[in-house]
Amino acid sequence: MLTDLTLTGFAAELASDSPAPGGGSVAAAAGGMAAGLVAMVCKLSIGKAGLEERASVLQDALLGVEELRAGLMVAVDRDTDAYLGVVAAFRMPKETDDEKAARAAQIQVAIRTAADVPLATAESCLRVLQLAETVAAGFNTNAASDLGVALNMAAAGVAGGVLNVEINVPSLKDQDARDELVGRAGEISTLTAGIMERVWPAVRDLVRGS
């Protein structure tokens, strides 16, 4: 499993001449690390003097990001597995009409999976951002830089997930499926942009002492 590798080992896998792991796995990893940072900020804030009234909210956010972190780390391997599924489908035999039909059907199934997995990654990264916004309303500002990095990493995870949806959509023959995927990816991108516009400048100003 990719998640069993060291960071150095994972980076080396990315740098190889193999197309997988690729951007989808990196997007999931980015989201997982963002969730980890938000969890750290929560832990550094819970119990801090002056934040007593925020304890329950921060605890709920902590539980949420820990669940998201676990799921996103699983998605690191799921994304690569989805790509390999597409490769396997294209390698199916195509000598007879039955083989051609089976191959064509499996290609469509595999491509849909290869779009669904990064869409789920983008959804999870958006949820990390939403919880980060909740945390930003009142937290230990000594960890402002960590929360800022979390915001940007989660936003990168959204962008990476959406890109990997968009690259697979044109290969789907089902127009309803294409519309569904593109529509939801667009919604996620819009929601992400809104959170970053609201939260990122404030967190950045905290870091700069503005």
Provide the residue-wise pLDDT of the chain in tens; the chain has 210 residues. 888 888 999 899 889 988 888 899 999 999 999 999 999 999 999 999 999 999 999 999 999 999 999 999 999 999 999 999 999 999 999 999 999 999 999 999 999 999 999 999 999 999 999 999 999 999 999 999 999 999 999 999 999 999 999 999 999 999 999 999 999 999 999 999 999 999 999 999 999 986
210 Cβ neighbours under 8 A, 6+ residues apart:
none
What DSSP character marks residue 92?
S
CA angle 6, 7, 11 (to 5 degrees): 115
What CA–CA distance (Å, rounded) separates 55 from 52?
5
**So what's the pLDDT on residue 210?**
60
What's the burial of 48, exposed, middle or buried (CB within 10 Å: 0-12/13-18/19+)?
Answer: middle
Q: pTM for the full model?
A: 0.94
Residue carrying structure tokens 């915001």: 151
